[in-house]
Structure formats: structure tokens, C-alpha cells
Chain A
């Protein structure tokens, strides 16, 4: 029941926001709704950490420790982005980028988007999961198109078309999976349920499972932004309003990855799953290699961050491809850490673009000096996301490469580390251009503090704390989740 409420609360909040005309009241609803959603998510995550799994409505909903990790990511990022939205969108209105009445639809879409992302990790039926992921595309495409410019329109169009076609292939994969499941076990409604497929005694025919996995990997991989299916990602992530970009990069990519992990876990149970691991590994390495030159030559700050997300998804895919319990724990940790750091980066970048009135990094100067709150936050998040110690991404990336060396993937790991080092240099260089130096004109206004900066301390604190110390209970959840992904536990 709690799972249903967790999904319903953001929907109701969105509806309350769209029917409220008065501004203060709408923001009140928005804040209350966000807090309640966050509370529900925290409760579910806590419950899952205690008991391992929960289900509801005749197994329509099912959540386990992997869901718990994704839910905590979506919960924290969406809570932060919701609070950040208040200040950010008010600024956009006063700058004349959007009209006042568009704010209502913005809040509606934002909460619907959060609801769809909370729905995906807790739904049992893989077909319903597909429906949920397609729903995230539809809702967030509206958000990408919120600014009625030609660029935003183009980004939304590419996003909608590429992701819909990509995900159509995932649906074909599900058709194959379902029909082979029906063929082996006879027709029933639960044949596409995760609880059924992950527990069957006799695995499904290997060639059909592999076919289905490849189709799903390509389909959902489009949504995750794995190269070479990533072309929509930098456009959509750079054109959306910054809180929406933070949600797209921080939460949505992981939600799509969750869908791949579910299928991965099913395939890992069969003999000879090495092919599958290698496939994921190749996509990971490819994403890393593709992202690097685009980060290097990027002028648009949000596009740079978007390509960094492609890189990060590459890292996660790499870690999952290498596999092993340590590798998978590290991959899940990397997912969480990246979500925290990248959402902070997108929201601070949003503050900067509002302050400098440009997205071009060549025209931003001295953000550390002129933006005494956003500047340092951006600095910390950049170092965190490029994997510098003492932040948590260093821990997870270190574990990933150590595990990869330990399992004998010498060449791949060396390549991985070289690209990571290069991207680290490039990210620090690029953000140095923005942060250092003196402000272009001295009479610039003071930075506004409040909704736009204070909420960002929440994700950033995770980046700091998890870099130094990870609580034992978190490790336990991660380890159990890794076992589930390996197909060795329920």
C-alpha cells in the first residue's frame, strides 16, 4: 500500500499545483508534496533495508534492494530539484524566459515525471516497467520543450523520436521474452513478472533470452545514453530547465539502467552468460571513448555536463560488465554517487547560466569570486564527479578499477584509467575557465541565496560523507543488491 502512495503522492501534488492559480499557495502545495513524497521514499528505502523486499497488490508492485538504491537516488535528486525549482523558475519568470502560467504546467510535469521515475523501480511486471519508462520519456519531453525556442523544440523532438524508437526495440525484446516464457511454462498473467522470471527453476531457452537481452540493452541503452545511442542526450539535457536537467541526468538515467539490470539478472542465471557481460562492457568502454572529445571541445556548460553523464554511464556499464560482487557493489555505489554529484552540478550550472545570462563557458569568468555560494558548490561537485579524493566517486571508481585488475582485465582497465585521467584533466580545466579569474564587469549584482543554493547541500553532503565513511547498513544493502544482479539471490 505504501508503494502505491509513494507513486500517487507526486501525481496528486502535480494536480494540486496545476489547479492552484495563486502563486504562494501553489508553492506551498509544491513544497508539502515534495516533502511528503520524500518521506514516503525514505520510509520505503528504510523498510527495504530492514526486510530485503516488499510487495503489494497481488504482486503488482515488488521492490527489493536494487529498487531501494534506485529509489533513494530518485528520492534525493527529485527532492533537491523540487526545492531548487522554486527559486530557479521564479528567476526564469522574472527574466521573461517563460510566462507565469507556464509555471503551473511546469510543476505538474515535474511531479508527474517524479511519479513515473518512482513507479519504474517498484513495478513487478517487466512490461509495466516498459510502460513506465516510456511514460518518463513522454513527460520529460514536455519538460525539455518548456522553453519555446527552436533549440528546445529540436531537443525535445530528437529526444522523443530517438527514445521512442529505441524503446520500441526494447518492447520487441519483451515480446520475445514473454513468448518464450509462455512457451515453456504455459500462458498466465504473471509470465513477465520479475518475481516469476527470477525464480524459475528451469531457465528459458538460451538463444531467445540472449536475443531478448540484446534488444532490451539497445532499447533501454538508448534511454541510458550509452554510446552510440546517446545522440539525444546532450541536446535534451542542455535544453531542459536546469532542475529538469538534474532529474534527467541524476535520476532518469539510473532508472533506465535499472530496467537493464533486471534483464541482466535474469540472463546471468543461465549458462554461458559471458557474452552478455562482454556486450555491456563494450558499450561501457565505447561510451567513455565517445564522451571524451566532446567534453574536451565543449563550449556549452550544460552540454559538457551531459557528455560527462554519458561518460559516467560508461563507467557504470564497464563495472557491470566486469562483474563480480565487488564490481557490482562499486557500480551501484558509482550510480548513487554520480547522481548526487551530477545533479548538484546541473543545478549550480543553472544558477550560473542565470547569473551570467549565457550557457557559453567562454563568457563566464570568475564564478568563485562573483558567486560566493554557487561557485564553491560547483567546484566541489566538479572535483567529485571527476573522481578526485576524498569524494565518494573516488572510492567507487577505485573499487571498480581494482576489481577489474583483480579479475584480469588488464587491457580494458588500463584504457579505462587512461580515459578517466584524461577526462579528469579536461573537466578541471573547463571548469577552471569558468570559476577562476575576475568577473567580466565589476558592477554585476550580488548572488541570490536561498532556494537555489541551500537544497544543494543535501546531495553534496552524501558525496562528502560517503567518500570518507560508508555505513555498514548501506554496504549490506549494496551487497545484497549485487547478489540479486548476479542472479544469486532474490
Chain B
């Protein structure tokens, strides 16, 4: 069982790193879907290990909402505005990869013995690294839809943090968070679609009218 947990953890790290580096928005969405899928596996594995049914429900919901519905909505928006959109980045790929590595390192160092109190909680480190990487995605990417992707990476990281420290948040809270995230994605899609319509671009650099 532990081997599988490690594999999913590594998959989470790889997918997060790749989302920063991708060239096309569509591959970013695919990796996001993959990341959520891994998260769902992890939750499912924990559900089997601990025998908790609520975790199992959460795993299924993660699969349906985060790995299928949300990427689908983002993908449809992308299709509506033109599929072969490139992800514009403020920095080159090499520098971004170094920055991501730094995020993982920070994630490792700021999370000493915390949580169950049985040594270094590696999943929490990964969660913090993912959180920082999500923020990095939002800072460095200029396309509105990629900011949405970054936001979901942040949400995923918080989900992982809750999972690794206390087997997820209370059940109802988790459900509520799912609903919120879903509506946020709908809103992000609607707004980026309208942005493309109105400013004929999805780049947030066009949003510079309001100052002072």
C-alpha cells in the first residue's frame, strides 16, 4: 500500500511541475485533470486503509468534480475561444523549473514534525510545495484560463494538506468546498470567455484600465 501512496505523491509533484512548464493551455488542463485523478486515488487508498466511508465518498467526488467536470468546463471554454492557444509565461521554461524546485524545497523545510506527530509529514511538504507552485502559476502565466488552473492547483494542495494532517476536513465542509470550487470554475470560464469577446484576448495584461 505504501508504495502506491509514494507513487501518487510523486505523480502529484510531477504534474504540478509540468503545469508550470507546458506550452499549450490544453495540456495544462490535461495535467490538472491527471493531478486531481491522483488526488482521488490517494483519498481512495486512505479510505480503504482506514475503512472510512466518508473518505470514500470524497474520493469519488474528487474524481467526478475535480478530475472530470472541472477540466471539461475549462476545455469547453478553451474550445470556444480557440483550442491552439499557447500559454504565455513571463519567464522562460528553465527558470520556471528552477523556481518550482525551490518551491518543493521550501515546502520541505517549512513543515517539520507536524500533524500526527510521527516524524516528517512528507505529504504536507508536498502540499505546501503545491500551494506555492499554484501561486507561481498564477503569477507567471498571463492567460486568464491558466490562472484558473493555478487556482485549482491551490485548491488541490489544500485538499492534500487537510488529507495529510487530519484525513480531510469535516465531511460537510469538504462538500461545501467542492461546490464553491465548481462555481468558481464556471465563473472563471464565463469571465475568460467574455474577456476574449470584449478584448479579443484572454491575456490579463489587457486588464489595465482601473487604477488608483
Contacts and interface: CB of A to CB of B under 8 A. Distances in A.
Interface of A: 125, 127-128, 130-131, 134-135, 138, 141-142, 145, 148-151, 153-158, 160-161, 164-165, 168, 171-172, 174-176, 178-179, 182-183, 187, 189, 191-192, 234-235, 238-239, 294, 297-298, 303
Residue of A164, A189, A297 ringed by the most chain B CB atoms within 10 A: A164
B140 to A, nearest CB: 14
Contact of A192 (B158, B173, B180): B173
B188 interface: yes
A175 B115 contact: no
A176 B110 CA distance: 13
Interface stretch (B18-26, B30-38, B93-101, B159-167): B159-167
B191 interface: yes
Contact of A125 (B117, B170, B210): B170
B65 interface: no
Contact of A158 (B171, B180, B207): B207
A148 to B, nearest CB: 7
A18 to B, nearest CB: 16
A269 to B, nearest CB: 21
A127 B158 contact: no
B209 A151 contact: yes
A393 B198 CA distance: 43
Contacts of B177: 130-131, 134, 171
B154 A165 contact: yes
Contacts of B173: 125, 127-128, 130-131, 192
A165 B171 contact: no
Contacts of B166: 175, 178-179, 182-183, 187
Nearest to A161: B147
Interface in B164-207: 165-167, 169-173, 176-177, 179-180, 183-184, 187-188, 191, 194-195, 198-199, 204, 207
Contact of A127 (B131, B169, B204, B208): B169
Given A131-B180, A187-B167, A192-B170, A179 B210 contact: no
B11 interface: no
Given A153-B195, A156-B191, A178-B162, A191 B135 contact: no
Nearest to A193: B170
B160 to A, nearest CB: 10
Contacts of B131: 168, 172
Given A150-B198, A158-B207, A183-B116, A127 B154 contact: no
10 closest pairs, A vs B, by CB? Answer: A127-B173, A131-B176, A179-B165, A179-B166, A154-B207, A134-B180, A182-B166, A235-B210, A175-B162, A138-B183
B138 interface: yes
Interface SS, A side? helix
Given A138-B184, A153-B191, A175 B169 contact: yes
Nearest to B148: A161
Nearest to A60: B172
Given A157-B191, A157-B207, A160-B187, A127 B176 contact: yes
Contacts of B161: 172, 175
A174 B199 contact: no
A141 B176 contact: no
Nearest to B178: A131
Contacts of B212: 294, 297-298, 303
A171 B116 CA distance: 19
Contacts of A192: 169-170, 173
Nearest to A298: B212
Contacts of B171: 189
Interface residues of B, number: 41
A158 B144 CA distance: 11
A160 B188 contact: yes
Nearest to B147: A161
A127 B180 CA distance: 12
Contacts of B144: 157
A238 to B, nearest CB: 8
A204 to B, nearest CB: 13
B198 A153 contact: yes
Interface string B111-135: 0000111000000000000010001
B185 to A, nearest CB: 10
Interface string B25-62: 00000000000000000000000000000000000000
Given A189-B170, A189-B171, A175 B184 contact: no
Given A125-B173, A130-B173, A175-B161, 9 more contacts: A127-B169, A130-B177, A135-B179, A138-B187, A154-B209, A157-B207, A172-B131, A175-B158, A182-B166
A164 B46 CA distance: 28
19 contacts: A130-B177, A131-B173, A148-B198, A151-B210, A153-B191, A153-B207, A154-B209, A155-B210, A157-B207, A160-B188, A160-B191, A165-B135, A168-B131, A175-B165, A178-B162, A178-B166, A179-B162, A187-B167, A303-B212
Contact of A172 (B115, B158, B176, B187): B158
Nearest to A155: B210
A161 B184 CA distance: 9
A325 to B, nearest CB: 33
Interface string B138-156: 1000001001000100110
B170 A164 contact: no
Contacts of A235: 210
A245 to B, nearest CB: 14
A294 B210 CA distance: 13
Contacts of A156: 191
B63 to A, nearest CB: 21
